[in-house]
Amino acid sequence: MNSNTSNNPKVSIRNGNKNDLNEILLLFQETIGNVCKNDYTHDQLEAWKSGAENKERWEKVIGDQFILVAIYNHQIVGFCTLEKGDYIDLLFVHKDYQHKGIASQLYHLIEKEAVRQNKKYLTADVSKTAKSFFERVGFEVIREQTVNVKGIDLTNYKMEKELIL
């Protein structure tokens, strides 16, 4: 992204589909490797990124979850998924589009969908990197957790937000 781009790029948001999967997987891995590198070790990042290899899991995400993608200049620059109407499974924004309001736009549409489904709470398992964003949009930490991925422990947080219906 060049320096002439405003702080709030004009992104369009649409429902994601199976044709988006390869671009989503690349964004997932690149975001973890670049954006989260100050919060996790190299081995932790590699273990986390390896989640992209689980094609069955990602096909299930695309098939079963409510998924939104943010598009800028014909490129996916962010995505967010909602599982069972009340669990934010994934929320990632491209490394070059951080701090431009894209995560907020995606999140608010996901929250709107949860409210539409009459859910009382939203929950998420949130990385160290994403914790402050989720706190800003009203989530509270329920507990710190250790997740083991391919023999490597990663810290994250179970977070929750009460929704106003």
pLDDT digits (tens, 9 = 90+) for 138-151: 999 999 999 999 99
Residue 67 has pLDDT above 70, yes or no: yes
Indicate the SS3 state at residue 42.
helix
For helices 21-35 and 55-64, angle between their N-to-C axes, nearest 10 degrees: 110
Nearest to 25 by CA among 90, 102, 101, 86: 90
Q: Is residue 2 very low, low, confident or very high in pLDDT (cuts 50, 70, 90)?
A: very low
Can you name the CATH fold of 12-120? Aminopeptidase (3.40.630)
161 and 138 Cβ atoms separated by less than 8 Å: yes
**Mean predicted confidence (pLDDT) in 127-140:** 98
pLDDT attached to residue 4: 33
pLDDT greater than 70 at residue 155: yes
pLDDT over threshold 70, residue 38: yes
pLDDT, tens digit, 9 for 90 and up, residues 73-113: 999 999 999 999 999 999 999 999 999 999 999 999 999 99
Q: How far is C-alpha 157 from the geometric centre of its chain's CA atoms?
A: 14
